[in-house]
Amino acid sequence: MPKLDRLFLHLMSQQGSDLHLEQGQVAKMRLHGSIHPVPESPVLTGEALSELLREITSPEEWERFEKTGDLDFAYALPGKARFRANYYRQFFGLGAVFRVIPSSIVKLEDLGSPPVLKTFGDLRSGLVLITGPTGSGKSTTLAAIIDYINRTKHSKIITIEEPVEFVHQNNQSVITHREVGLDTTTFTSGLKSAIKSDADIVLVGEMRDRETILLALTAAQMGILVFGTLHTNSAAKTIDRVIDVFPMDQKNQVRMILANTLQAVVSQQLLKSVDGRCRWAAYEILLRTLGVSAIIMEGETFKLTSEIQTNKLRGMVLMDDSLVKLVTEKKVTKEAAYMKALDKISFQTRV
């Protein structure tokens, strides 16, 4: 058994989410949001860490890492779990982070997600964005939505990821997984191919550049249901982020396309529970309305707060309202929620 597998097994036995390895430090793991050292772990020398990291890579992958200083891939521990691996060079030498990808996909019902997320499976076209910082559960939420569609709809689904994380078995739908770097060169090329592949639904693992965002908008405009992710923490910032990647002379056109195609934005953050044994998700949810479309067209995203408040009965919710609810239910501390709040002054007066 590779030595790295033993570390993975320990991480899973502690219900950790991430394993961190850096040259000159002991191995560390993230437990419910906080970093802790792995008991009895020695300080990792360059030679020892290099030996660990090479255990689970192919010669081609290791050569690519030595050339570029970065490597992303997925690794499977048969019958246990898969891991999203990121190798990198840092100031003191080598480093790596491994994120646990559970072998079974958690259903939306079991995640405790807002019921409105199920309605995304009934959409025929448009753009749905799941956003949040790294480690906020975006991939888990997306996997649960795709799983729900796979169990209830007859659709052709293509996922484009780097690397492929959750692996779905065909159920009612037909699912094709494509990994950037192995099956397609870039997110852009994978998305171009998906548009031509009779897909009903396309999942774009990361909308990281202008060309990918434009292609995702184009696909949504053509009648495909597109799911994507961004590293933003509110609906307003998400819309601004999409528009701001384009030059001034294209912004009005992009606003028009986004106003006509955006179906929903779900921003989420994870907070440690009061007892420290788990984490709870806080959500901001924006759904398509005529008012939302007009706000996007006019470039007045500051009005979205009022629009969300007006449509609470439809399933919309503000991030700070979600945080207040978690505090009221004694699931998270006031201090933890305050750190995640968007309007801290208003939040402080409410709790």
Show pLDDT as tens, one digit a residue, over the chain (351 residues).
Answer: 778 999 999 999 998 999 999 999 999 999 988 899 999 999 999 999 999 999 999 999 999 999 999 999 999 888 788 899 999 999 999 999 999 988 789 999 898 899 999 999 999 999 999 999 988 999 999 999 999 999 999 999 999 998 888 999 999 999 999 999 889 999 999 999 999 999 999 999 889 899 999 999 999 999 999 999 999 999 999 999 999 999 999 999 999 999 999 999 999 999 999 998 889 999 999 999 999 999 999 999 999 999 999 999 999 999 999 999 999 999 999 999 999 999 999 999 998
The pLDDT, as a whole number, for residue 294 is 97
* pLDDT attached to residue 78: 82
Q: Tell me which residue of 166, 190, 193 sits closest to 179, measured CA to CA.
A: 190
| CB-CB contact of 22 with 2 (8 Å) | no
Side chain identity, residue 307: E
Burial 76-93 (b: 16+ CB within 10 A, else e): ebeeebbbbbebeeeeee
Query: How far apart are alpha carbons 342 and 325 in whole angstroms?
Result: 15
* CB of 327 closer than 8 Å to CB of 337: yes
Residues across the chain:
351
In the chain, beta strands by DSSP E: 18-22, 28-31, 34-37, 70-77, 81-90, 93-102, 126-131, 156-161, 174-179, 201-204, 225-230, 262-272, 279-287
Q: What is the pLDDT of residue 62?
A: 95
Alpha-carbon span 332 to 351, nearest angstrom:
12
State the greatest distance between any 2 C-alpha atoms of the chain, in Å, as a whole number: 60
Q: pLDDT of 253-285, one tens digit each?
A: 999 999 999 999 999 999 999 998 889 999 999
Spell out the domains of the chain, with CATH numbers in brackets.
Answer: 3-102 (3.30.450.90), 108-350 (3.40.50.300)
Backbone φ and ψ for 69, nearest 5 degrees, come out as 85, 5
Per-residue model confidence (pLDDT) at position 77 = 87
d(Cα 287, Cα 293) in Å, to the nearest integer?
A: 10
Q: Supply the pLDDT for residue 208.
A: 85
CA distance 227 to 204: 6
- CB neighbours (10 Å) of residue 43? 10
Q: What distance in Å separates the CA atoms of residue 208 and residue 204, rounded to the nearest whole number?
A: 10
DSSP 125-170: SEEEEEE-STTSSHHHHHHHHHHHHHHH---EEEEEESS--SPPPP
* pLDDT at residue number 238: 97
User: Which are the contacts of 83, defined by CB distance < 8 A and separation ≥ 6?
Assistant: 8, 19, 74, 75, 76, 77, 98, 99, 100, 101
Residue 230 near residue 94 (C-beta atoms within 8 A): no
**Closest CA relative to residue 173, chosen from 222, 225, 130, 101:** 225
Burial of 313 (0-12, 13-18, 19+ CB in 10 A): exposed
